[in-house]
Amino acid sequence: VLPAPNIHGRPDVYELENAAADPERRIELAMAGVADWEGEVLVDVGAGTGFHLERFHERAAHVIAVEPHAPTRLRALERVARLGLERVSVLAAGAEDLGLRDRSVGVTHSRFAYFFGPGCEPGLAELARVVRAGGTAFVVDNELRSGTFASWLRRSEWCRWAEPDRVEAFWAASGFTSRTVETEWRFDRREDMEAVVRLEFPAALAEAILAEHPGTRVEYHVRVRHRRY
């Protein structure tokens, strides 16, 4: 299990972050324009507490949430039960070994999970094994070069490792096409935004960001990558 201090440590605050993210659902729109999941088996790899399952469940034939961190996975199970999502399965597995049959999946989605660039080759090999011919894998991650959120990331000690050119070259060499989706965080309450900024950034930087950024909206660009098999 790769450490994910945000969702593992404060799933309640991470829920606020997900709820504020991409209010117009531009990410799903961009995905659906490439490959629709209507009637497909869709796997959400690194599904966390399952925030995105309900949206995929609306049109997919079946949704499989894969989440290796037990307490987080239990929250996904609780969500599935609470929302009555009858065509969702939750698996204790990870990206390197999905525990699914060869060529059994039409679409995969992975958001801010495992597929961060160099180092995720075992997961890419596993996607190539489980996705059927003509199926599509999607990876959603931060755009590191544009948007207000990226400018904050570049100031963070925690993101020293992020080298945008190397990451982009890796994905291109891995057969993925990437596009930038310009979206935003839109919070209902300032205090929710403050909690999320404090979750995602070291303390001193979080306070500096909050002092200079008023309001409840933050420009946030993501990279939506896909590969067809």
Q: Tell which positions 5-24 bind ligand SAM, by CB under 6 A.
A: 6-7, 18
Least CB distance from residue 114 to ligand SAM, whole Å? 4
* CA separation for the pair 148, 23 (Å, rounded): 16
Note the helical H segments in 39-98: 53-57, 70-83
The only residue of 68, 117, 135, 147 in contact with ligand SAM, by rule CB under 6 A: 68
Stretch that binds ligand SAM, among 4-12, 53-61, 186-194, 206-214 (CB under 6 A): 4-12
Within 10 angstroms of residue 38's Cβ, the number of other Cβ atoms is 12
- Which residue in 54, 85, 48 sits closest to 68, CA to CA? 48
Q: Which is nearer to ligand SAM, 53 or 214 (CB)?
A: 53
Establish if 1 lies at the interface with ligand SAM (CB under 6 A): yes
What letter does residue 145 receive in the DSSP assignment? S
Q: Kind and range of the H or E element at 190?
A: helix 190-200
Q: Which is nearer to ligand SAM, 69 or 225 (CB)?
A: 69
List beta partners, residue 204: none
Establish if 51 lies at the interface with ligand SAM (CB under 6 A): yes
Q: Kind and range of the H or E element at 221?
A: strand 217-228
- Look up residue 3 and give its two tokens: 């450490």
- Look up residue 65 and give its two tokens: 């949430």
44 phi and psi angles, rounded to 5 deg: -100, 105
Q: Which is nearer to ligand SAM, 153 or 208 (CB)?
A: 153
Within 10 angstroms of residue 29's Cβ, the number of other Cβ atoms is 12
- Binding track over 82-111 against ligand SAM, x by CB under 6 A: ------------xxx--------------x
Report the residue count for the chain.
Answer: 229
Stretch that binds ligand SAM, among 23-31, 67-75, 144-152, 204-212 (CB under 6 A): 67-75
Establish if 47 lies at the interface with ligand SAM (CB under 6 A): yes
User: Total residues at the site for ligand SAM (CB under 6 A)?
Assistant: 22
Establish if 159 lies at the interface with ligand SAM (CB under 6 A): no
What letter does residue 202 receive in the DSSP assignment? -
Establish if 67 lies at the interface with ligand SAM (CB under 6 A): yes
Establish if 117 lies at the interface with ligand SAM (CB under 6 A): no
Residues making contact with ligand SAM (CB under 6 A): 1-2, 4, 6-7, 18, 45-48, 51, 67-69, 72, 94-96, 111-114
